[in-house]
Amino acid sequence: MSREPLSDEIRSDLRRIIRLHKMIPNILTLMALAAGMSAIQFAVRGLWDQAAWAVVIAAILDSLDGATARLIKASSDFGAQLDSLSDFLSFGVAPAFILYIWVLDDAGKVGWIAVLVFAIATALRLARFNVMQAQSHTRPKWARGFFAGVPAPAGAGLALTPLFIWNQSEDWSPVHDFFSDLAAGTPLIALWTILVAGLMVSRIPTFSTKQLRIPARLAMPVLGLAALGIAAMIHAPWITLTVLMVVYVTSIPFSLRVYRGLAAANPDHPESGEPLSDLALGVVSLDHVSEESDGLDCEKS
Q: Could you give the number of structural domains in the chain? A: 1
Each residue's pLDDT tens digit, 39-52: 999 999 989 989 99
Quote the pLDDT of residue 287: 45
In a domain, 231, yes or no: yes
CB proximity list for 117: less than 8 A, separation 6 or greater: 193, 194, 197
Residue 11 resides in a domain:
no
In this prediction, what percent of the chain has a pLDDT beyond 90? Answer: 27
Average pLDDT (261-272) is 67
**Residue 65: inside a domain, yes or no?**
yes
CA distance 63 to 87: 11
Range of the domain at 258: 18-293
Distance of alpha carbon 69 from alpha carbon 90, whole angstroms: 19
The burial of 81, by beta-carbon neighbours within 10 Å (0-12 exposed, 13-18 middle, 19 or more buried), is given as exposed
Distance between CA atoms of residues 93 and 157, nearest Å: 13
pTM: 0.79
Domain assignment of residue 251, yes or no: yes
Evaluate whether residue 143 is within a structural domain: yes
CATH code of 213's domain: 1.20.120.1760
Q: What is the pLDDT of residues 12-32, one digit of tens each?
A: 554 566 666 677 888 888 999
Residue 5 lies in a domain: no
Helix (H, G, I), strand (E, B) or coil at 205: strand
Domain-embedded: residue 300? no
